[in-house]
Amino acid sequence: MSTEKAAYHHGNLRDALVRTALALLEESGVEALTLRAAARGAGVSAMAPYRHFADKADLLAAVAEQGYTDLRDRLAQADRAADPRRALVEQGVAYVLFALERPALFRIMFGAPVSGLMPSSPAADSAYDILAARVVGLVPEEKREAAVVAAWSLVHGLACLTVDGRLHREADTASPEALARQVAGLFAAGLPS
């Protein structure tokens, strides 16, 4: 049995290529992520990925989609806190920690548009919807849209500043998790009821 057939029969080739691409991305960065490298890592021929992906941009779109799914799952887990304001804080912390733990993936998800994925995708929308649902439950109807955008902007901005090492010295003394908890806590406490 050929290497390609053996690898293909171990499961879904498309998913195997996306998992391999995620590992390559996290180990070596976006420059190392090619269809050929994903094929090699998945144990298939260099042409096999073209059955599922037109080009590298298409593979990156699938990688970003998986990132949004993973982020959505992290936000859903964080949203389980009984107190609604605490749940919002935990979502903020989860968002920042996700970015710090997977910076290359985070940059692909929110960086330059990836063909076939931007401006939105089902997984990206569902991650946003978890945050939006929590905020909507905390503020009066006339302030909901602005409050949702403010909450997302706050944690996304903090995640970007943290990942890029752009925080001022005072902020560097706190752990990223503690800083995210403080910032999100200030925001949640200040929401109008």
Quick: pLDDT tens for 126-175: 999 999 999 999 999 999 999 999 999 999 999 999 999 888 756 556 78
Q: What's the pLDDT score for residue 1?
A: 37
What does the pLDDT read at residue 174?
Answer: 75
Write out the two tokens for 62: 């699938």
| Mean pLDDT value of segment 97-109 | 95
Q: Which helix (H) or strand (E) holds 86?
A: helix 84-101
Residue 112 — pLDDT band, cuts 50, 70, 90?
low
Q: Provide mean pLDDT across the span 71-95.
A: 97
CATH code of the domain made up of 1-53: 1.10.10
165: left (phi > 0), else alpha (psi -120 to 50), else beta? left
Ordered by start, the domain boundaries in the chain are 1-53, 64-190
Tens digit of each residue's pLDDT (9 = 90 or more) over 36-54: 999 999 999 899 999 999 9
* Res 139: pLDDT: 95
Q: Please tell me the predicted confidence (pLDDT) of residue 98.
A: 98
Is the C-alpha dihedral spanning 44, 48, 53, 57 positive or negative?
positive
| Letter string b/e over residues 25-42, b meaning 16 or more CB atoms within 10 A of that residue's CB | beeeebeebbbebbbebb
Q: Where are the alpha helices (DSSP H) in 137-174?
A: 144-163, 169-172
In the chain, the N- to C-terminal Cα span, in Å, equals 65
Q: Tens digit of pLDDT for each residue in 51-68?
A: 999 999 999 999 999 999
> pLDDT tens, 182-193?
999 999 999 987
User: What's the mean per-residue pLDDT of the chain?
Assistant: 88
Least confident of 72-76, 83-87, 115-119, 129-133: 115-119
CATH superfamily placement of domain 64-190: Tetracycline Repressor, domain 2 (1.10.357.10)
Torsion of CA 129, 131, 136, 142, to 10 degrees: -90
User: Are residues 49 and 35 in contact, defined by beta-carbon separation less than 8 angstroms?
Assistant: yes
Whether the per-residue pLDDT at 4 is higher than 60: the answer is no
DSSP code for 14: H
